[in-house]
Amino acid sequence: MEPFRVILLALAAAAVCSLDVRVATFNIERLGDGKLEKPEVVEILLQRYINFLNFSIPLGTPSLRMIQVSSYFFTRWQILDDYDLVCIQELTDEDGSSVPVLLGLLNEASGKEYTNHTSPRLGRTTYKEQYLFLYEPSLFQVVETILYDDTADDIFEREPYYVTFRSGNYMFTMGTIHVKPDDALAELIQFAPANDWVTENYGMQEFLLLGDFNADCDYVSGSDWDEIGLWTQPGYRWFVDNDADTTVNSNTDCAYSRVVAKGPDLQARISDVRVRRFDEEFGLEQAEALDVSDHYPVEFTLTV
């Protein structure tokens, strides 16, 4: 076979094998039974939104008269169904009952078959949270899960949690965190050593880190950044800038939710990162959006 043809076939095979998937991180404030009992919240998270378009059609030949008619079309699905994989922070369900409800509603509304993975319940007090991963099993399989061992130092209110996913022939490790606001600097300083601990004990070299970092405004500012290895070490790339606003409330302008990647191969696979302002997208009043969460999702494309 001619060398040129071999090259073309190789390029074609690579194109066929690669796939762009949509991923998001979303702190859904106090996600549990109470939130899912609010129809208006479920509608925003899980129902279709319809846009109406007016257009003209002729009444007949040879008449040139026109009639205005209104037609509708679906611009997009609900928030959650737009993603192949979404990592959710602040699941506060005590007995595990809300996740099957959410999953059932999502699958019914989307016509897809999502599944889920949840972390252990985390927190020093009786108030606990979990990390929730919703994903399409036809695209992703969970290979390994790791909870950072913070027993000795007890730096984190909610320890970083790592999930290694396989998508086709590609594997990547996603680490998520919901940083305690009052301890944001201390926890963010320890986040890079936590990743090093995972590398030393489990061998992962590259990390897709996302979640609610609380890394802005009253919690992290100015010279604080010089202490954060996740920020200063050259191996990390931050995809949400400090001047972004990931908060719903119009009285705040803070880049709390972040996406960070360690490793050149993984960094090259991430594109189209944006804060999704679902209130503007769906024409919601601020109070309606705040019923869903005080955070916007941050979404991006991952080539796997």
Residue 49's nearest CA partner among 3, 81, 5, 17 is 81
Provide the β-strand partners of residue 261: 208, 237
Go through the chain and tell me how many residues it has: 304
Collapsing DSSP to helix, strand or coil, 201 comes out as helix
Residues marked active site are found at 129, 178
Q: Is 179 exposed, middle or buried (0-12, 13-18, 19+ CB in 10 A)?
A: buried
* CA–CA distance, 15 with 25 (Å, rounded to integer): 27
68: which DSSP letter? Answer: E
Strand order in the sheet with 298-303: 115-118, 130-135, 85-91, 20-31, 298-303, 270-275
Give 1's contacts (C-beta < 8 A, 6+ positions apart). none
* CA–CA distance, 302 with 280 (Å, rounded to integer): 25
Q: Is 272 exposed, middle or buried (0-12, 13-18, 19+ CB in 10 A)?
A: exposed
Collapsing DSSP to helix, strand or coil, 298 comes out as strand
* CA–CA distance, 298 with 150 (Å, rounded to integer): 27
* CA–CA distance, 18 with 167 (Å, rounded to integer): 10
Q: E strands of the chain, at which residues? A: 20-31, 49-58, 66-76, 85-91, 115-118, 130-135, 141-147, 161-167, 170-178, 207-212, 236-238, 257-262, 270-275, 298-303
